[in-house]
Amino acid sequence: MSADPLVIRRLDYLGPMSSPDGWRPEPRLPEVAFSGRSNVGKSSLINKLVRRKGWARVSNTPGRTREIHFFDVNGQFALVDLPGYGYARISKERKAEWRPLIEGFLRHSPRLQGVVQLLDVRHDPSGDDLQMLDFLSEIEVPTIIVATKVDKMKRAEASARVLATAAALGMEESQIIPFSAVTGEGRDELASAIADLVAQPAWREPEPAPASEDDDAVPTDAPRREDEAP
Ligand SMILES: Nc1nc2c(ncn2[C@@H]2O[C@H](COP(=O)(O)OP(=O)(O)OP(=O)(O)O)[C@@H](O)[C@H]2O)c(=O)[nH]1
Ligand SMILES: [Mg+2]
């Protein structure tokens, strides 16, 4: 038996981020974010990945995960559960809130290291999925693609669906990880891909800190400019 590529020794919930300028946990760890439509199986996949049954909330009501949730895995990386997009019954108002939240986080989080993009194996990528994939390639973040719920089909049928999805996205079949939260298929392959991603050098350069008007924010040992009042 091969060794577990991601042994979970410690798992801590770090808290939610609910608006683009709102509170978020200190970005101390490299972050791997999980993205996908509502109901695609993000929370179920996360639970399987960390081998905890009720860790990330799983629901039969699509659109349940509304904030961005952060989890510290082994003090090694932060797992980031994004709200699902593209659920029709959610009000326009809520959708208008989510997009800036998700895109703002992905664009600006200083420690983002990669994204795991989930697609339901049974369906062709939706317009929202394609928009998200375009966005991910625009920001050039390393992305792992997972096809979820493969247990819902016969094996050959699921393989054919993965092949078709790969073709639709212009990628190789081997670039998509087939996954089932029910059988655990794909768990170790995904865990290994995530461990590799986290071991890479930091993907994003930190943004320069904004110039502060507030003198108190300047450390006392910071050099003062000549023209600056004492
Ligand atoms: N058969 C099967 N069902 C799954 C699988 N993954 C998720 N489900 C079911 O799909 C539904 C949605 O799963 P969630 O994990 O809550 O999906 P989510 O993407 O987190 O949904 P939101 O938080 O609403 O965006 C639940 O009823 C799950 O039990 C899977 O691999 N196989
Ligand atoms: Mg969820």
**Per-residue model confidence as pLDDT tens digits over 165-195:** 999 999 999 999 999 999 999 999 999 999 9
Give the pLDDT confidence score for residue 228 in this predicted structure: 47
Question: CA–CA separation, 79 vs 133, rounded Å?
Answer: 19
The residue ranges of every structural domain in the chain are 11-217
Q: List the pLDDT tens digit at each of the 230 positions of the chain.
A: 569 999 999 999 999 999 999 999 999 999 999 999 988 999 899 999 999 887 666 655 555 557 899 999 999 999 999 988 876 666 666 666 678 999 999 999 999 999 999 999 999 999 999 999 999 999 999 999 999 999 999 999 999 999 999 999 999 999 999 999 999 999 999 999 999 999 999 999 877 777 766 555 555 454 544 454 44
Give the pLDDT confidence score for residue 61 in this predicted structure: 58
- Report the complex ipTM: 0.99
Strands (E), the chain: 11-17, 31-35, 68-73, 77-81, 112-120, 143-148, 176-178
Give the pLDDT confidence score for residue 26 in this predicted structure: 96
Pocket of ligand 1 (CB under 6 A): 36, 38-44, 58-60, 62-65, 84, 148-149, 151-152, 180-182
Q: CATH says 11-217 is which class?
A: alpha beta
Q: Considering every ligand atom, which ligand is closest to the CA of 39?
A: 1
Taking CA atoms only, the protein residue closest to ligand 1 atom 32 is 149
Predicted TM-score (pTM) above 0.90? no
Distance 172 CA to ligand 2 centre (A): 28
| Nearest CA-CA partner of 41 in 119, 109, 139, 101 | 119
**Residues, Cβ < 5 Å to ion ligand 2:** 42-43, 65
